[in-house]
Amino acid sequence: MTITAPISAPAGGAEGAGPAAVEFQNVSKRFGSVAANDGVSFTVPRGSICGIVGENGAGKSTAMKLLYGMIRPDQGRILVGGVERNWRSPAEAIAAGIGMVHQHFMLAGALDALDNILVGAEPRRRGMLDRGGARRTVEELSQAYGLAVDLDRPVEDLPVGVQQRVEILKLLFRRAEILILDEPSAVLTPIEVTALFQNLARLRAEGKTILLITHKLREIMDFTDRVAVFRAGRVVGEMATSTTSSQELADLMVGRKVSLQMSASPAAPRQESALRVEALAAGGHGGRSGLGEVSFELKQGEILGIAGVEGNGQSELLRAILFPSDRACRTRGRVWVLGREVTDSQPGEIRSLGVAVIPEDRLREGILPERPAAESFVLGRQREDSFGRWGWLDPARVRAAFQAAATQFDIRPPDPDLSAGRFSGGNQQKIVLAREFGREPRLVIAAQPTRGVDVGAIEAIHQRIVRVRDEGAGVLLVSSELDEILALSDRILVMFNGRFVAEFARGRVTEREIGLKMGGA
Amino acid sequence: MRQLLRSLVALVAGLALGSAVAACAGESPLHIWAVLAKGAFGSRNDVGMTLFYSTPLIFTGLSVAMAFHAGLFNIGAEGQLTMGALAAAAVGAVLPGVPAFVAPWLAGGVAFLGGAVWGAVPGWLRARRGSHEVITTMMFNFIAAGISSYVALHPLANPDSQNPETRPIGPGYQLAQWAVFGGAPLGWALPLALLAAGGCWLYLWRTAAGYELRVVGQSEAAAGVAGISPARVRITALTLAGGLAGLVGVVEVLGNSGRFKPGFSPQYGAMGIAVALLGKNHPAGVVAAALLFGALHKGAADLDMETEHVTRDMALILQALVILSVCADGLWGRIGRGRVNPG
The predicted structure's pLDDT at residue B343: 33
The predicted structure's pLDDT at residue B338: 41
* Interface residues of chain B, partner chain A, Cβ below 8 Å: 205-212, 214-215, 218-219, 221-222, 224-229, 338-343
> 10 Å Cβ neighbour count for B229?
17
Contact (CB<8Å) B225/A388: no
pLDDT in tens, A428-480: 888 999 999 888 899 999 998 987 777 778 888 898 899 999 998 999 999 88
Q: What is the DSSP letter of A214?
A: -
Confidence category of residue B288, pLDDT binned at 50, 70, 90: very high
The predicted structure's pLDDT at residue A85: 86
The predicted structure's pLDDT at residue A94: 87
**In 3-state terms, chain B is what percent helix, strand and coil (to 5)?**
75, 0, 25
CA distances from A14 to A45, A205, A467 (A): 9, 8, 51
Average of pLDDT values for B131-146? 93
pLDDT greater than 50 at residue A374: yes
The phi and psi torsions of A291 (rounded to 5 degrees) equal: -115, 120
* Percent of chain A predicted with pLDDT > 70: 93
pLDDT greater than 50 at residue A2: no
Average of pLDDT values for A74-87? 88
Rg (CA), chain B: 21
Nearest Cα residue in chain B from A66: B343
pLDDT in tens, A381-425: 999 888 988 989 999 999 999 999 998 888 888 889 888 888 877
Average pLDDT along chain B: 88
Residues of B in contact with A379 (CB under 8 A): 215, 222, 226
* Percent of chain B predicted with pLDDT > 70: 95
Contact (CB<8Å) B208/A383: yes
Do residues B115 and B243 lie in contact, with contact meaning Cβ atoms separated by under 8 Å?
yes
Residues of A in contact with B338 (CB under 8 A): 31-32
CA distances from B261 to A224, A483, B63, B119 (A): 80, 73, 22, 21
Contact (CB<8Å) A379/B208: no
Given strand A291-299, what is the order of strands in its sheet?
A291-299, A273-282, A332-337, A340-341
Confidence category of residue A5, pLDDT binned at 50, 70, 90: very low
Which positions 154-173 of A are in contact with B (Cβ < 8 Å)? none
* Percent of chain B predicted with pLDDT > 90: 50
The phi and psi torsions of A287 (rounded to 5 degrees) equal: 80, 0
Nearest Cα residue in chain B from A55: B343
* Strand, helix or coil for residue A318: helix
CA distances from A446 to A303, A339, B59, B247 (A): 10, 20, 45, 47
The phi and psi torsions of A329 (rounded to 5 degrees) equal: -105, -25
Average of pLDDT values for A110-114? 86
Average of pLDDT values for A109-113? 84
Nearest Cα residue in chain A from B212: A382
pLDDT greater than 50 at residue B282: yes
Residues of B in contact with A385 (CB under 8 A): none
Do residues B22 and B32 lie in contact, with contact meaning Cβ atoms separated by under 8 Å?
yes
pLDDT greater than 50 at residue A3: no
ipTM for the whole complex: 0.81
Do residues A254 and A55 lie in contact, with contact meaning Cβ atoms separated by under 8 Å?
yes
Cβ–Cβ contact A244 with B under 8 A: no
Average of pLDDT values for B53-78? 95
Measured in angstroms, the CA of B200 and the nearest CA of chain A are apart by 14
* Closest to B316 in 3D by CA, of B327, B303, B334, B332: B303
Confidence category of residue A296, pLDDT binned at 50, 70, 90: very high
CA distances from A130 to A115, A127, A176, A294 (A): 12, 9, 21, 50
Average of pLDDT values for A253-267? 69
How does DSSP assign B226-249, residue by residue? TT--HHHHHHHHHHHHHHHHHTHH
Q: Output b/e per residue, B1-21; b: 16+ Cβ within 10 A.
A: eeeeebbeebbebbbebbbeb
* Strand, helix or coil for residue A154: strand
Cβ–Cβ contact A28 with B under 8 A: no
Measured in angstroms, the CA of A393 and the nearest CA of chain B are apart by 5
Average pLDDT along chain A: 85
The predicted structure's pLDDT at residue A6: 40
Which positions 287-346 of A are in contact with B (Cβ < 8 Å)? 322-323, 346
The predicted structure's pLDDT at residue B322: 84
Do residues B5 and B319 lie in contact, with contact meaning Cβ atoms separated by under 8 Å?
no
Residues of A in contact with B221 (CB under 8 A): 361, 364-365
Rg (CA), chain A: 24
CA-CA-CA-CA torsion sign (A152, A154, A157, A159): positive
The predicted structure's pLDDT at residue A132: 84
Confidence category of residue A8, pLDDT binned at 50, 70, 90: very low
Average of pLDDT values for B225-232? 92
Average of pLDDT values for B87-106? 90
pLDDT greater than 80 at residue B150: yes
> What gap in Å lies between CA B195 and CA B207, rounded to an integer?
17
pLDDT in tens, A147-167: 888 888 888 888 777 888 888
pLDDT in tens, A306-320: 998 777 888 889 999
The predicted structure's pLDDT at residue A288: 55
pLDDT greater than 60 at residue B103: yes
pLDDT greater than 60 at residue B336: no
Helices (H), strands (E): how many in chain A? 16, 22
* Closest to A496 in 3D by CA, of A316, A312, A318: A312
**Substitution target from A230, A365, A397 for chain B, most B beta carbons within 10 A:** A365
Residue of higher predicted confidence among B335 and A485: A485
Which positions 368-427 of A are in contact with B (Cβ < 8 Å)? 368, 370-371, 375, 378-380, 382-383, 387-388, 391-395
The predicted structure's pLDDT at residue A9: 42
Size of interface A-B (CB pairs under 8 A): 90
Residue of higher predicted confidence among A452 and A238: A238
Residues of B in contact with A357 (CB under 8 A): 225
Contact (CB<8Å) A364/B219: yes
Query: Using CB atoms, which residue from B205, B222, B229 is nearest to A366?
Result: B222
Cβ–Cβ contact A350 with B under 8 A: yes
Measured in angstroms, the CA of B129 and the nearest CA of chain A are apart by 14
pLDDT in tens, B41-58: 988 889 999 999 999 999
